[in-house]
């Protein structure tokens, strides 16, 4: 199993609200995508986290825009005048990540798209599991589209991989739920956590880790992601918001 692959045919515009300067592009399948570049600041590891976390969350019933691999020839941006964009495109030749563009979506502000108490608790627990530090009120990385809540931008999760912190350390690493957009749902976490934890099997994790393209990984990385995530699952009393189940 691998993510579908498309080729970028037109660079439409940069998304300046994103710190990594993602862009909007058209694909050779006529789709419109947000492209996240392997040549951006955090490098390909941010894309690895997007795939593992996004595909895990999708399989656990959350809405995540479809993810594809996208081939980029930097020449498609040659008429883009911005030097920063040009450099990013040049540094990102080859395989990048495409996120299905949700036209007309807007950032979650607490009203439309509210997932309810259990839904909030579920998202909070999952973000704590993958150590996603990028879901605060300042930057929710939640979009409302057709009245539903969509989760985006998981590139900051799994940050153990930047220095390859040991699995033992990551297993019990605390999570600051106070900063999370759904911190209010913490007391409801123990009621939803058992079911989520039971659904995260070694097979499911192996399946989502297998979707990461070889191009973004070092040797042995797949085994390391699996080991770290299984270790964290096993020690969830150490990091679970709202206390142990």
Residues that bind ligand ATP (CB under 6 A): 15, 17-20, 22, 34, 65, 99-102, 105, 134, 139, 141, 143, 152-153, 155
Q: From the CB of 99, what's the least distance to Mg ion, in Å?
A: 11
Q: From the CB of 20, what's the least distance to Mg ion, in Å?
A: 8
Take residue 128 and report the two structure tokens written for it.
């704590």
The only residue of 49, 141, 157, 189 in contact with Mg ion, by rule CB under 5 A: 141
Q: Which is nearer to ligand ATP, 64 or 128 (CB)?
A: 64
Q: From the CB of 21, what's the least distance to Mg ion, in Å?
A: 11
Q: From the CB of 167, what's the least distance to ligand ATP, in Å?
A: 26
Q: Which is nearer to Mg ion, 48 or 196 (CB)?
A: 48
* Nearest position to ligand ATP, beta carbon: 18
Q: Which is nearer to ligand ATP, 127 or 134 (CB)?
A: 134
DSSP string of the chain? ----EEEEEEEEEE-TTSTT--EEEEETTS-EEEEE-TTSTTTHHHHHHHHHHHHHHHHTT-----EEEEEE-GGGGTT---HHHHHHHHHT-EEEEEEE--TT-EE--SSTT--HHHHHHHHHHHHHHTT----SSSS--EEEETTEEEE---TTS-GGGGTT--HHHHHH----GGGSTTGGGGGGHHHHHHHHHHH--HHHHHHHHHTS-GGG--TTHHHHHHHHHHHHHHTGGGT-TTS--
Q: Which stretch binds Mg ion (CB under 5 A): 20-28, 47-55, 151-159, 233-241?
A: 151-159
* Nearest position to Mg ion, beta carbon: 153
Q: Which is nearer to Mg ion, 55 or 153 (CB)?
A: 153
Work out whether 153 is an interface residue with Mg ion (CB under 5 A).
Answer: yes
Contacts with Mg ion by CB under 5 A: the residue count is 2
Out of Mg ion, ligand ATP, none, what residue 226 binds, judged by CB under 5 to 8 A for its kind, is none
């Amino acid at each position: 199993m691998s993510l579908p692959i498309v080729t970028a045919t037109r660079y439409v515009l940069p998304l300046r609200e994103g710190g990594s300067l993602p862009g909007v592009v058209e694909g050779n399948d006529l789709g419109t995508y947000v492209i996240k570049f392997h040549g951006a600041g955090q490098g390909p590891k941010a894309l690895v986290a997007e795939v593992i976390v996004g595909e895990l969350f999708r399989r656990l019933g959350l809405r995540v825009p479809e993810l594809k691999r996208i081939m980029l020839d930097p020449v498609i941006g040659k008429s883009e005048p911005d030097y920063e964009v040009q450099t990013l495109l040049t540094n990102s030749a080859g395989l990048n990540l495409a996120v299905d563009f949700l036209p007309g979506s807007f950032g979650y502000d607490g009203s439309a798209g509210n997932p309810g108490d259990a839904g909030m608790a579920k998202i909070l627990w999952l973000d704590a599991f993958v150590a996603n530090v990028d879901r605060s009120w300042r930057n929710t990385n939640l979009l409302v589209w057709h009245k539903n809540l969509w989760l985006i931008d998981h590139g900051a999760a799994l940050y153990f991989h930047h220095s390859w912190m040991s699995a033992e350390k990551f297993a019990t690493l605390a999570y600051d739920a106070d900063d999370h957009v759904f911190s209010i749902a913490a007391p409801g976490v123990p009621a939803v956590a058992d079911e989520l934890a039971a659904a995260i099997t070694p097979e499911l994790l192996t399946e989502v880790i297998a979707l990461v393209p070889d191009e973004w990984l070092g040797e042995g990385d797949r085994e390391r992601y699996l080991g770290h995530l299984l270790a964290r699952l096993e020690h969830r009393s150490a990091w679970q918001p709202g206390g142990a189940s």
